[in-house]
Amino acid sequence: MIPFILGVTGHRHLPVNSLPTIENRVRERLRELQRKLPNTRIIVASALAKGADRLVAQVALEEGIELWSVLPTIADDYEKDFESTDSRETFRGLLQRSTRTLNASALAGRDASASERPQIYVDVGAEICRLSHALLAVWDGKASAGLGGTGDIVAKFRSGQFEGASDSALTFPDCGEVFHVHVGEDVNSAVANSHRDGLLYPQVQGEDGEPIMRGGGQALHVRFEAGLRSLNAFNRDSQKGGQTPDSKLPSYMLPNKFPWQDDPVLRTWLIVQDAANTLSSQAQKRRHRALITVVLLFAFSMMATLLYGGLVTEGYWPLPLGLLFISAATVVYILRKTDHDVWIGYRALAEFLRVAISWRACGVREPVHHVLAEEQILAQDWLGMAVRWFDNEGRLCAAQRFPDHTVQQVAVHWITDQIDYFSDHKNKGIHHHDFRAKLLGKVSMLFIGLALSVDVLTMVIDYFLAAHGREAALGATAWSMYVYWALLGLSAVVATYADIMAHGEHASEYSHALIKFRLAKVSLAKAATEQERYELLCNLGKGAVRETASWFRLHLGRPLRLPF
């Protein structure tokens, strides 16, 4: 459902005697990517220039990979750069087999038939960088002689300095990883290229030359690999869920009479949002059941273990019983551990899409992934990959222009729906989480209070029975001491459960969001112009994205775990 886009850059002139070697290395790279993303639609975005662009495009088509053509200008003018008839025929053949053709000059805001060189090649390089989750560079590793060359594109992509990238001072750059296939005089030398072919990590450095992020490019590579796995998992889960277009699909997202079918981008987004929402709810239920099971099994294990050692019984049977309970808890934990990541990841994706859908239906054109980058959800993360694709789809396809009263209706629906969501009308909102937080706190304190009461009672019993012999006193107080430690342990288990569930933090976040949407509803009614409404909805969407990103980070630190 969410594709992975691999941009292509490379030299126009490749050593003829090395073409088979270069082609094999490109094929290996593409097959490696297919192995990592077996359930994901892979797209190769190429400018179809002579040399590396066409070589990669042809290999991609042979491997069953979809091809997008990203041209610097209209095809007729672009063909003038190709010297021979055969070259032009090859270009036309690849163009015909492409599933999508884009004009970089038009997307850059210039005339679609612009012919100024090298500007049109700078534009096409920037467009490929904007579209791509990673680059495949067929390159000699040297700096470019001018703008728009392979070295220039690689450097800009790795540093996130290309046109259209986020340029906010507080936003992590839209940097990316490059799969490098080396070309040069020694391209056929296996020894030489074993050190040259490889991954080029993103380069994000401060003024002192030190990496901005701890771990530098290596850390970003680790996040990228994890992102690929998660992206593929979402596409796999979505396919298993059998998500299909449905006329009732957007009922909770858009007003019932809103003509969302008129906008193909909205239709796609609504399907993905519904899949993410459904899969997240299913994972949340599994995760909650697993958490309760783990906590209960651990509590039983703790109580059985307290019996061991002769405090209450002389037998050794409590020890294997306790080990059995803790082993069962461990098995449940291992089997259901991934449900936590699925829940928060898919829930976050659904909420990010809620903003994107509402924005598009209201005519707001803002990139969501720029806001995510401010919140340290990077282009290397699977959520960053997904939202980057949504932003690009919204940018590439002109939005349907809806009447003013329809836009107003959408905006009110969005805000009202969110108010209902946070205020317990349609969801377990503020009051639910606030009640649960207080209840769990009281239960934990109750166990502690009972433990202290039992401790005092134990001392009283021990004092009065001491006169009849120490053995009698120990026998009488054995069970009371067991109850004392069991109550303390149960208090700790409840506190751990409460910390993982984070009801108090939920109530606080929901309260903050509820106030924000209520204020927005009042301000929307007062908005006198379309520009005022646009700015209000833009700021509201950014605030909602930040709230979701904050919630996502909160739960990353509260995974399902054994309450040791």
Are 215 and 268 in a shared domain?
no
Pull the structure tokens for residue 516. 């924000």
How many other CB atoms are there within 10 angstroms of residue 251's CB atom? 11
Same domain, 203 and 55: yes
As a whole number of angstroms, the distance between CA 545 and CA 371 comes to 7
Whether 256 is covered by a domain: the verdict is no
So what's the pLDDT on residue 209?
67
Burial class (CB in 10 A: 0-12, 13-18, 19+), 454: buried
pLDDT of residue 50: 92
pLDDT for the residue numbered 41: 96
**Is 203 found in the same domain as 116?**
yes
Asked whether residue 251 is assigned to any structural domain, the reply reads no
172-223: pLDDT as tens digits: 888 899 999 998 755 554 434 433 558 899 987 766 667 777 778 888 999 9
Q: Are residues 283 and 413 in the same domain?
A: yes
The answer to whether residue 72 sits within a structural domain is: yes
**Residues ≥6 apart with Cβ < 8 Å to 497:** 291, 292, 295, 440, 563
Choose one of 204, 223, 242: the last residue of a domain.
Answer: 223
Query: Containing domain of residue 294, as a range?
Result: 264-429+504-556
Asked if 283 and 345 touch (Cβ cutoff 8 Å), the reply is: no
Residue 479 lies in a domain: no
Element (H, E) at 356: helix 338-361
In angstroms, the Cα distances linking 58 to 38, 48, 52, 121, 273 are 20, 10, 10, 21, 34
| Whether residue 335 sits in one domain with residue 204 | no
In terms of domains, do 193 and 281 share one? no
Cβ neighbourhood burial of 1 (10 Å; 0-12, 13-18, 19+): buried
Distance CA 7, CA 60 (A): 12
Bridge partners (DSSP) of residue 4 are 42
The conformation of residue 99, written as its DSSP 8-state character, comes to S
Q: Phi/psi zone of residue 482: left (φ > 0), alpha (ψ -120 to 50 degrees), beta?
A: alpha
Select from 75, 30, 20 the least CA-distant residue to 57.
30
Whole-model pTM: value is 0.85
In a domain, 354, yes or no: yes
Decide if 526 is inside a domain.
yes
Same domain, residue pair 19 and 97: yes
d(CA 413, CA 420): 10
Q: Which of 444, 427, 419 is nearest to 496 (CA)?
A: 444
Domain ends where: 160, 192, 223? 223
Tell me what pLDDT residue 168 has.
76
The sign of the torsion formed by the CA atoms of 121, 127, 129, 135 equals negative
Q: What value does the mean pLDDT of the chain take? A: 84
Residue 518 covered by a domain: yes
pLDDT of 192: 40
Instruction: Please answer whether residues 500 and 558 qualify as being in contact, where contact means their C-beta atoms are separated by less than 8 angstroms.
Output: yes
Distance CA 107, CA 128 (A): 11
Going through 371-468 in order, the beta strands assigned E by DSSP cover none
DSSP string, 285-331: HHHHHHHHHHHHHHHHHHHHHHHTTTTS-S-STHHHHHHHHHHHHHH
Structure tokens at 204: 């994000």
Candidates 235, 221, 237; CA nearest to 339 is 237
Q: Are residues 216 and 279 in the same domain?
A: no
Number of domains in the chain: 2
Start-to-end CA distance of the chain, whole Å, equals 40
pLDDT recorded at residue 96:
95
Q: What is the pLDDT of residue 172?
A: 84
* Residues 275, 190 within the same domain: no
User: Residue 512, class by beta-carbon neighbours within 10 Å (0-12 exposed, 13-18 middle, 19+ buried)?
Assistant: middle
Distance CA 5, CA 43 (A): 5
Please give the pLDDT value at position 191.
39
Q: Does 69 map to a domain?
A: yes
pLDDT, position 490: 80
Say if CB 513 and CB 544 are below 8 A apart.
Answer: yes
User: Looking at residue 308, what is its pLDDT?
Assistant: 60
Task: Please indicate, yes or no, whether residues 284 and 214 belong to a single structural domain of this protein.
Answer: no
Specify the CATH number for the domain of residue 72: 3.40.50.450
| Euclidean distance between CA atoms 245 and 268, whole angstroms | 8
Give the pairing of strands 100-103 and 198-200: unpaired
Q: How far apart are the C-alpha atoms of 227 and 341, rounded to whole Å?
A: 12
Taking only the tens of pLDDT, the chain with its 564 residues reads 899 999 999 998 898 888 999 999 999 999 999 999 999 999 999 999 999 999 999 999 999 999 999 999 999 889 988 888 899 999 999 999 999 999 999 988 888 888 888 888 899 999 999 999 999 999 988 887 777 789 999 999 998 888 888 877 778 888 899 999 998 755 554 434 433 558 899 987 766 667 777 778 888 999 999 999 999 999 999 888 655 555 556 667 888 888 888 888 998 999 999 899 899 989 888 888 887 888 788 777 777 777 665 555 566 677 788 788 878 888 887 888 788 888 899 999 999 999 999 999 998 988 999 999 888 888 899 999 999 999 999 999 887 788 888 888 889 988 988 888 887 666 667 787 788 888 888 888 998 888 888 878 777 776 666 666 556 666 666 677 777 777 887 888 788 778 777 778 778 878 888 888 889 889 988 888 888 989 999 999 999 999 899 888 877 766 655 554
Separation CA 455–CA 368 (nearest Å)? 57
By the 8 A CB rule, do 293 and 337 touch? no
Same domain? 282 vs 369: yes
pLDDT of residue 330: 82
Full DSSP string of 112-174 = TT---TTHHHHHHHHHHHHH-SEEEEEE-SPPPSSTTSHHHHHHHHHHT-STTS---TTSPP-
Both tokens of 312, joined, read: 């209450």
Give residue 251's pLDDT: 62
- Residues 278, 143, single domain; the answer is no
Q: Which one-letter DSSP state was computed for residue 400?
A: P
160, 193, 223: which is the final residue of a domain?
223
Residue 174 contacts residue 161 (beta carbons within 8 Å): no
